[in-house]
Structure 1
């Protein structure tokens, strides 16, 4: 077994590994290739793989969290090992490599996500569970019915929008999103990389609800074949309570279904009651849970 920096030509193997561990996540080979070949613009991002007999059996990425005002906070993302290769020290080696990368960058507190069966592993390494994340799925055959938009509300594919306006709506809607740290320092450059220029973003299915020329709510669709991920659905605070987030998400789901998507996935913090209620009304069913786990680095 060896740990090494991920290469672009690992993309297909990484996606196959992810499908074995996280069948409810959606990121295709093309977008994974781009992420490795052209990393996020924020400094400090890295991705590592574990290899056994030239087979990729583990993955982790790590980065300082540059989307929050909380100082010295970092993320260890998608640390996972193929089920056939567990209990050999591979996860521990990946975690050590990730924390070893973050510590010299000034990260002092770090978050990792863990499935239920990985919580003992997290605890052994000094991580304590913090928040629960619910993953849900929706069969789009048939897609949910679309109610008539209220007077003055226009549904538009985001392909027709100025991305700077969508960025502003995204930032405004995310400020009070429940989580371990606030999402209150997202630069346009970072947002453009993560959202607008993501090769998986379906700009025709992704939908915004516009009121008097302003983006009031939106729902983003990232797609891989006949599977999609509801990347983020948000409502600008001034327009909440009007059902616009549900309207935008329903329209996005229907547009994705019309383009051949058959199943939609999403995730929500268990404290995000409004969004969980929307998903329940749309027919989503829970399929998995993960927990954020926090630790201090020394």
Structure 2
């Protein structure tokens, strides 16, 4: 049995489906569908030099890697490689080959420092350290039982605040672009990001196939979007009524944030609570989210909702000589 690494073939439906399935088995806390795989392959900014790599053994996809440059960072030369091998197909050399191919690609396009997320398990961390990567910050994956748990009751917005959905901004999403750009720039990270390209944001984020405009909540203050909770679903393009008969599917909160001028007023909690209540009413049975371990205010909000930590990833980095 021989393991080989190649580029994903996005024009081959079965190849994309195997990629998404393998990634889900390795990291079941993040939604990733074939549609999302194709979207990222097609719409990631050219300056990212993005590649999706597949580790294959006898025609079976056993590992994947997403590789690219942090093109929207003010600091040049920063690249990323997120490598995931199926837990039932480890110790076959797939991780080694994926890392080697990813590093060669990133070095060829000018990367000087590489970042990767590693599940906080002894074997994974040891693998990263053997390849010269050193641990830095960490982040939790959290799960909420929407079917059997109890959400905090819905609250009426305070005076001057209106709860809306992202769908209300379908004709002109630019106000949400500005809000997303500001909150993302303040998010804890070792790689800074500056959203300045509205057209790129439209292609990559607003038109993402997992973005559910109806379940994404926005708190509006005096007509200005002040806070939001972004919902990703793997049935974003289907009528929610169909979920009730199918038993429901997961929802993921991709981002929750508040503009600087409106922080400390509970608007993010208000928006996220509205989003989760609508998701449960639509038939979703569980919710996932991610949280930097040092972001104590957001952790407190998630614990208030009833989320529980289900896994942890550790960020690793190395310099390219």
Q: Is TM-score (shorter-chain normalized) higher than 0.5?
A: yes
| Matched-pair contact (CA < 8 Å) for 1:173–1:235 | yes
Say whether the 8 Å CA contact 1:132–1:269 is kept in structure 2.
Answer: yes
Task: Decide whether aligned partners of structure 1 residues 34 and 175 sit closer, same or farther in structure 2, where only a CA change above 3 A counts.
Answer: closer
Q: Which residue of 2 aligns with 1:93?
A: 97
1:219-258 to 2 correspondences below 5 Å: 219-225=229-235, 226-258=249-281
| Alignment correspondent of 1:197 | 207
RMSD over equivalenced CA pairs, Å: 1.4
Distance in 1 (CA, whole Å) between partners of 2:276 and 2:225 is 18
Pair 1:154-2:162 in alignment? yes
Corresponding pairs, count: 296
- Preserved contact between residue 201 and residue 222 of structure 1 (Cα < 8 Å): yes
Q: CA-to-partner distance for each residue in 1:76-110, whole Å, 9 max, x for gaps?
A: 12x01122321222101100101111111111001
Name 2:108's counterpart in structure 1: 104
Residue in structure 2 matched with residue 267 of structure 1 by the alignment = 290
For the residue of structure 1 that corresponds to 2:74, the secondary structure is: coil
Shift of 1:185: 4.4
Which is further off, 231-240 or 269-278? 269-278
TM-score by length of 2: 0.89
Q: Residue in 1 aligned with 2:240?
A: none
Query: How far has the Cα of 1:187 moved from its partner?
Result: 2.5
CA–CA separation in structure 2 for the residues paired with 1:92 and 1:68: 28
2:9 aligned residue: 7
CA positional deviation for 1:147: 1.3
Unmatched 5+ stretches in structure 1:
none
From 54, 60, 81, the counterpart of 2:65: 60
2:188 is the counterpart of 1:178: yes
Greater displacement, 21-30 / 158-167: 21-30
Q: Tell me the CA shift for residue 263 of structure 1.
A: 0.7
TM-score, structure 1 length as denominator? Answer: 0.95
Contact 1:66 1:185 in 2 (8 A): no
Q: Displacement of 1:163 after TM fit?
A: 1.2
Kept after mapping to 2: 8 A contact 1:209/1:218: yes
| Off by >6 Å, runs of 4+ in structure 1 | none
Q: Give unmatched runs, 5+ long, in structure 2.
A: 236-248
